[in-house]
Structure formats: structure tokens, C-alpha cells
Structure 1
Amino acid sequence: MRFNLFARVLIGVALGLPLPLLAQEPSPRANEHRVALVIGNSSYTHSPLKNPVNDARAMRDKLKKMDFDVIIRENMKARDIGGALREFRSKLKPGSIALFFYAGHGLQIRGENYLPAVDAEISSEEDVPHQSLNVNTVLNTMEDSKAGVNLVLLDACRNNPFTRSFRSGAGAGLARIQAPSGTLIHYATRPGSVAEDGDGVNGTYTAALLAQIEEKGVPIEQALKRVTVRVKNVTKGKQEPWMEGSLTGDFYFIISGPTQINIQSAPADADAAAWQAAEAANTAVAYQAYLNEYPKGVYAAAARVKLAGLAAQGQPQPQQQQQPRVKSEGAPPEDRDTTLWQQVQAGGNRDYYETYLKEFPRGKYAPLARAELKRLAAQEKELQVQAEKQAWEKAQQINSEESYQSYLTEYPRGTYAALAQAALKKARKEEATRIAQGRLSMRDQQRPTDDRKTPTERPEKKKQDEIRQAAIGALSLARLSPGDYPMGAAADDVTDNPEADEAARPQHNVRIGNFELAYYEVTVGQFRKFVEATAYLTEAERPGRSPGCHVARNGGDFVIEHSANWRSPGFAQTDSHPVVCVSWNDTQAYIAWLNGGATGYRLPSEAEWEYAARGGSVTPRPWSDTGNFFARVFQSNKGTDPDQPPSRACRNANIADETLKKLLAWPVTHNCSDAQAYTSSGGYFGRNGFSLYDMIGNVGEWTQDCWNPNHSGAPLDGKARTSGDCSQRVIRGGSWSSGPAYARSAARQKNAASYRAADLGFRLAKTSP
């Protein structure tokens, strides 16, 4: 409709007719439904902020005037996070305009962004996810609702007090997010940088945002670019807001009413009227239509700049029409020069400045354009330098073979490549020495008591106790309430693996008592503390008949690799990844160390494990690939098999997918892609109904139970089965290597208590009083 209106303008101009025309500004979708979740956190226990609550209130008031249904949370506590998201999700519906605004502290840990609650007590990285709102969770909530437009505005890059005690992986500011299709994210400053809280009533960024969104008829992308200009001007270039993603349609905060355009026969007036109509439409087709009519018009150069900007946003460019031109007297060249330069300054990126120089290589603003291009080039180079520097610093902080190898993979000829090579060699040498010392220590422990140097070992024992207590203090467990649930696979829960189906039956009702379960699988970093404190050698590391760990090979096989162990499982890991290549026997040694001779921590029973994995659901998986699934699937995670329905698994769990299929020709996968071939860091995927992470997928998890071929005779009180084949132990949850049959709540597997694999780890449980 917009282009037809513009075409009528051009026809009138071409005929030289004085046409009074009502040019309609862009209008929203019919019955546009607008919902916003606005959060302002000021009253932090540590390092309170002055402006965020003011920012949230001002944003609420502004958005309400723009017909948004606003949900506001001031000084949100950790227990209120779930409720806010549920209310937000309940109000969204397909086609909604969904907006999320946040002002307060924000931090990144290994590429993920978290918005801490005001009562957060964060002393280590493990505390962050369950005391903060994960920005990815907000994005998932928006996507799942099938909202038509998703806007995320983050004034959350203030200097952060929480990161001082973190060991590694936490950076200043927020990290870049790969925005899903139809989502626009605007940061108060560029990723990795820190924003100002502001000296006035509102933060610097929010103040600019509040002022800008009142402008009528301005597309959201242009509005946010103007916010960027405002902030840069106020801060003298110290703070530069950043935009990620794109929308598939147009969005305007305020839609202005129709305006009267009097088109006269004078060429200059007709040119201006046609340009006004083209700007109102703001599409590539409209700007090209203007250029077809006025190739040398006053606004011709500006139209080319607009086309370049739309091309950069991915809007298809129309073919130029070959037709008679209507000559225009136009305006003096210097006026066109100035008009274009004003558009270039509003755009402010490389494409705009290059377009200007192409049009006016000797224009009066050409020196400024070249200077800006030079500045932008230096800025881009600096960003690349900073990115490499951060990667190198992260490698040094982690200080492992894997971290240095990861840096070298990304920057094989980088600035720090020679240092990384040297550090890698040193790390390997230290690792060999540590293993050798560990073996000596184990032998020493086996000597008679009288031969040990007890007096001199007391200080060492005290240090080990301190390490153990610190490790216990860093654990995060969820307290789960008692309840009844149907354990096992229902009769209609059928897969293409009859053996797996039979092992999960019969379904039976189980009563679960109070217990606690870790939010995350035990990580590499947590297990490392145990090894460093005790010099423990895992079964994969011990010399003997069959050391090593089973690792994945092309075609779907797991084979023993004698050099593989928890330190080097065949793929890169950091301290935040789940530990793998540990046997059931190794888990018992770790738990015995934590308990320090007492009882408390343990592996969960498989009945407790399944209760927690279901998270209150009774479906085969906490998500659903049936029923209304097709209405909720997004193109970004569909698989390549046209004969199979796409799976939602990749949006919820790290399981065998297209990524693994392409890498290792994996035979049984889900028809989707999660971009993760091996393990992912804890919390990368969303939490279930009990706020637990990676219950399905990532790594399989040892449980306490002895193996029995099915649930016949299983305890009804949720306790572990201590009869059956106790040389074999039950494994639950599936892993990054699991197809649909094992990536479900009821699925059971077994293996020898001494078995180790690169897709197998564990999670801690504890009995509650």
C-alpha cells in the first residue's frame, strides 16, 4: 500500500498537476498488541546505584503512553525472577510487540550475560546463574511466544562490583549476543565496555532513549542510531551504544497522523514532495522509485545513502527501471552536498561515508568523511586487538593446555602466538610432573602408618581442609520439595529403540522426600580442586591394563583412548564445563573427600534424579515435540532432514544434533542444530521447572543405583536400589551424543562402575533434614 501511494505522488508530479495529497505515515499492524517488561535495580546489597529505579519508572510512564501493557519490577530479588518472566510470557501472544528494558548491574561470564538480583550474594561464578536473570532466558521467552517484534534495551553495563572475586572468564560490561531472527538488542555501550550511571535523574543512556522515542514516525533502527549519537555527544565519545540483530518488519514507537502535502507544479517542490513520500515509506522500492524519477534531484544522493543503509540491513534491492526521466531543476550542487552529509552523519557507519565520497569525492565534507573512515578503521582494528588480548588473558587465567590450545586455534599467527606455544609446552610439562608426583603421593599413602611423617604433614592437612571447605562453600544446590510422580515411561512413550523403552518400564508411582540437588553437573574446576588437594589419580590416569577414557570417533563409536582423561577428553573444555572421563568409583572418591569422613553429599538415586529432571512435567521430556509443536518451531534450529519433523530439543538441551552429524557423521541425531558438538558450559541452555540445568543432555550422569533391567520391584520411596548387578551402575539423562531415545526423562542406561567416557559425568545430591 505504501508504494502505491508513492506511485500516485510520482504520477501527479510527472504530469505537473497541483495535487493535494494525504501522505500517510507508516502505521502499525492492525490491533497491535504491545507488552513490556521493565526492571530497574538500584538497592544492591553491594554497590547500590542511583538511577536504575528512576530509569524504570520513567520508561514505564513513557511506554504506557505508547499503548504498552507494562510489567514493572523495582529492586527485583532472586526469588521474584521466575514470577516476572511468567507474567511477561502470559501476556505475550503471537504477533505481539515484546519489549524488555533493564537498568542496573550486569555482567558477563564466558560470553553469557546475567542481570543480578539486588539481594545477590555472589562470591564466585557458580553463584551467578541462580541469583541473576540470564538474558538468554528473556530471549527464549520472547521467541517462544512467537512475538512479531522483540526489542531488548539494556542499560546494564555499569562498572560491576561482583567480578573482583571471580577466578576467570568474567569481563567488564556485557558480551555480544547472537540475536535471534526478528530481535533487536541495544546496549548502553559497546560490548565489553562500561557505561555511565549519569549525574542527573536518569542514566546517560536511558535519558537519551527517553528523549528519542518521543519522535513521531521514526523507525526503531533509526531511533536507536540517534540515541547513539546523543550518548556519544553527551559523553564526548567515551560511551557508544551498540546494536545487534534486525527486525523482519517495521516498528515505530509513535505513529504520527496523516499530514497534508501540497504538490505544486514547480519542479523543486515536486522533488521535495516525492522525497517526503519516499522517506515516509522508508523502503528500498520507494527510494529507487524516487531515483528513477529524479536521478539528479536534490535528494538523489541521500536516496542512494538510504539504499546503501537498507542493503546493509538485508532489505532486497529493487531493479532500476529503464524509463523516461522527468527532468528536475534541482538545487545547487553545494545544497545536495550538504543534504547528503546530514544523512551520512545520521547514519554514521562506513557504508554511509563511502557512499558520500563516491558521490562527492571533492565535496566540502570529503576531508571529514575520509577522517571518519580512518577513525572507523582504527576503531575496528582496536576492537580486533582487544578481542585477541581478552582471549589471551582468558587463556592465561585458566592456565591449562586446553586454554592455550584454544587461543592458538583462534589466533594461529596472533600477537601472543609465540607466548602461547611456550605456555602450552610448560603446561604439558607441569601436567606430567603433577601426575608423577601424584603417583608418588599415592604410594606414600600406602606405606605403614609408623613410616609417615605425621608432624610435618599437619600444616598440609590444614591447607587441604581449607580447600575442601572452600569447595563446599562454592557448591549450589536446590532444595526440592517432596512429592509423588509417575516414574518411568508411559505405555504410549515409544521410540525407535525397543531396548531403551523396555528398560524404562513399568511406569509406577513414587513418593520422593526432601532432598537437595546441584543446579549444575560437577565441573572441571570443582573436580580439579579435589585432585589438587589430594593428588588423586582417576581410573583413567592410573597405569595398568587399560588406562584412558572412551572418546567419540567418526561414525558414532566410542573407543578407548589411552591418553584421554578428565584433563584432556579429546575436545577443549574450561573450568565451567562438566567434568567427564570419571568413573562411578571416581565419583565416590570425590564425594568422600567433600564429606571429610562424615556423610552428607552423595549421588542421587535414579528415582530422585528423574523427579528432578521432569521438573513437574509428565511428558517424555520437559519440552514437547508433539501437539502444538509446529506452531512453535523456529527456522534457526530446524534440521536438514525434510522427511522428519524439526525438533525443539536443540533449544532446550545439548544433545546429538546436526553439528555432531556434520563433524563425526553421527548416525542417530535430532533434526535440529544447537551449534554444540561436545560439552557446553553449565547453564548454557535454559533451566527446567525446578530451575536445574542440563538434566537432559550435555553429559550422562551417574546415579547411586545398582543396575536392574527394568523397574519391576523398584522401591516406591525414591531410595536407591542396592540389589541387582552392583558391578554395573545406572546412568541417566543422555548426553551430547544421545539421540531421541535416550534424551528423555525416563531413559536409563548402564555401565561398569569403572567405566569412563567423554560424555559421562555426575551431579551431587544431599539429603535434607
Structure 2
Amino acid sequence: MRPPRSVATTMRLIAVAAFLLSAVWGAPGPAAAAAARHALVIANAAYPDSDAVLPTPLASARTLGEALKSKGFAVEAAENLGKEAMQAAVDRFVAKVEPGSIALVFFSGYGIQVARKNYLVPVDARIWSEADVTRDGISVEGIMSGLEKRGASARALVLDASRRNPFERRFRSFSMGLAAPGAAPGSISLYAAAVGGVINEPAGATQSPFVTELVKQIGQSELNAEQVFTATRDALTRDSRNLQNPAFASGLEDPFFFDPTRVKPVAKAEPKPLPSPQPAPEKKPAVEKPPEPVVAAKEPDAPAKAEEAAARAFDRADAIGSKASYEEFLRSHPAGPLAERARAEIRRLDAALPKPEPVPAAVAPPAGKSYSTAELSRKTALDDRIARNALDEAAFYERGQFHAQRDEYTQAIADFDESIRLNPINPEAYNNRCWMRAMLNETERAMADCNEALRLRPNFLDALDSRGLVHLKTGAHRAALADYDAALKVDPNHPSALYGRGVARLRLGQTKQADRDFAGALALNPTIDKDFAQYGLR
């Protein structure tokens, strides 16, 4: 007869059994408790480069912040941050996030996409080119990557930043709206407008309709995060009659609830059977390849090829017709009859130029135009930089953009001339000068500039779009169609290329296709038809 167990022994056996059952079946423990919730809410409204303070970001951010607090989020809120303060706020927030927690980031203000990546713009950003965006902007990808590294189980991103900002209007350097939101595992994103689209907030609005709807849906306790975001998207699309279509993406496997009382228990894990052993793959004997036959290479006619290359390079320089283009040719071809011709053209151009006069601290605008306080300040700063250093290529380029934004074509071309003279391999300067020359109907020189921009940067989106416009102005509609098709392969949501292709198709008699292009372009930018009317194209 087996002796009876002691009480202590029995209790130990029960504890062991309970432990084994919890290991196999996933009994609720600390993981089933509500995860910590963190939110970073930033609103930037007072941009010096903007004509006026943005009316909706501050009130929108405050309303959303209160809604998140009521749902158990620890909210860190900030307003009108410069680059240094904004980066510090992001760094503090990321450092607070614990493994397994929920992290939400909201930003309202201006956003810009460069190379299909999105950047949030601080109020003190000085943006004139793509490089400035990556220098002064806050990378969305960087924020989300930081939260992932901290181990946040759910990372939510809400951007009310799809606005046509003053940096985009400055001059053709950026794509409209924001790039597509990511759907990495564990992330969920909602943007106020469609990819590449911009919002048009109602006149007199003090709070974003996007945030108003989002807060309303967050209050629905039965909805999880994916349902809240999709309901917001659907309601705004419906209420705006398809004029505002928020972009949504999710990589959440198990969406969280905004209502902290609705927490899902940890799912029971089924025990996994051990894999059956597999036989090792049979090794095949290596087969030795026969040696490749040696073919004697033909010796090229080196002198003839060099002359042909020099002739092509000179033709490019001559088509552009600037001192910088001839100087660039001479750097590669310093000797020979074409080099002498290039030097002769440089002497001719130098003789035709008047002697430069000192640039005053501030230059009056052309007759009939006036500068706002912000414009005068920006213009004065650029004039001062050039007066202090006549070799400041970036200052000439930025002042060219300044004039281009104001449709001061002759002044813009003069500044781009200097920018190119100082830096003859800048494709953006050639593209900008191409556009200015097209506005003055100097189509041959405009075409040469666009071609040079595309030689320096093949498949350069803006240069393809610019050259398409030049082709439209010269009646080369099939060539325009080809350029716009190439541009739209790079960015299918480029409103200017889409509308330009519509014009080309209309003039080629492709009416149905043209109407589709016009409708798509106007959905992305409701004023694009007025822009083309200013270009002389309807």
C-alpha cells in the first residue's frame, strides 16, 4: 500500500501543474493587463514663410490631446516648435516608450515629401531645395523607426499636414502632398488627404474637419484602432463629397482599442509539434565548365571617337549658349579647334555683359509689384549674402527661386545664369531656368536647358514635366505626351504632369483619356487648371 502524501507535497504538485498549464495554455498574467499609452501631439501654425498663421492646427491638437487623455494616454503636447526644440520633443517622447506599450504621434502643420519620404516642417525651417528639407525637416520614418526600436507593440501615426505649403509654391522643387503611409508590422497610419493630395479647409474654420471626425470616432468605445481610422476616412470622404480622401494604412495584427477598458486577453497558444527530421540533401558532383573562348577585342578608332564626343559636347554647350556651358566644355576638351571656338564665345559673352554693380542691401521690386514684410526680409538677406560673397552659388539659386515664385522671369533667369556659372552641374538650376525661359516663350533655349537637366539627372521628374510644357508650347504634342508619361511613371500622382498629359491628349484628339487626366489632376490640385491658363495653355 502506497503511503499517503503530505500536505506540503500535494501543494507543490498543484503549483507545478498550474505552472505547466499556464505555460502551455497561456493563462492571463501581466501581459493581459492594459498596455501603457503614450502620445506626442505637436501643432505648428506660425511659419514666417507663410502668408498667415494656419488657423486650425492649435485648436485641433488641443482637442485631440484632451480626447487621448480621456482614453488613458500620457500626452506630451507642444506648439510652434523650431527644429531643435521639435527634435528634442521627439527624442524625449521616444525615450519614454516602454516595450509592449502603445505609442501615438500626431502632427498638424506643414509636411513635405522628398524621394517618397515624408518630413514634418518646424517653424524655423529655411527651405529652398530638397537638401534643405532633409536638413531642416523631421523625418517621419525616423520617428516610427525609433518607436519600433523601443519595442512599442502598436505605433500609430496621424498627420494633418497635407497642405499646399509656401515652400512648394516657392518654385517647383517638391511633389504635392505627402507620400504613401507605411504599413510596417505593428504600425497604423492615417493622413488627412490622399497620397499626393492637399486639403482645402473651409473658410473661417478654427478646427480641422479631419480631427473633428477623428475625435468623434475615438469616442466610440466598441471600435478598435483600425475601425476608428477607417470610419474617420469614410466619413470625411462622404461629407466632403470626395474632395478630401484621407490615406490609411495598417500593419497591426491585433488592433488596440482606444477605450482602455476593452483590452483583449492574451490568446491561448496551441502546443506546436516538433518538426520531423529531414534527410540531408544529396550532394551533386561539381561539373567543371569548359573555358570560355577568347575573342580578340577590336581596337576602337580612338581619335575619331574623341572627335565625335567633343563635337556632341560642343553642340550641347552651344545650344545652351551660356558662359558656364562653354566653360564646362573646356574643362573636358581644353585643346583643339572646338576649344578655340568655345573660348571665342566666352570672350564675346564677356564683352556683351555690363560691368557688375554692387548689390544694395535691399532692391526695390519691379514696377507694379510690392514686397510683403516677409518677402522684403528674405530678399534683403539674399542681397546681403551676394554682396558679401559674389561666389555664393546657393544665394544666387535661392534668389532665382524667389523671383520665379513672383513670376519675375527676367530677374530669375539672371540669377540662375550666375548659379549655373558657379556650379555648372546643378540640374535643378537648369530645370528652373528652362521653366522661366518657357514662360517667356524662349522655347529653343528652354529646351536646351531641360535637356541638360535630364543629362545631369536622368528621369528627373521636374525636368520631364518642364520639357513636356515646352513641347506643348511648340506644338510637339506627341513628344509632350512621351515626357508626361515618363514623369508619371516616376510619380503617378504628379498633378502638373497629369494635367499636361491631358492637354497633350486633348490636342491629339484623345478626348476620353484627356478627361480622365484632367479629373485626376484636379482631384489632386483643384487650381491646376488656373496654373496652366497662366502658362498660356487651356
* Structure with the higher fraction of residues in strand conformation: 1
TM-score (norm 2): 0.48
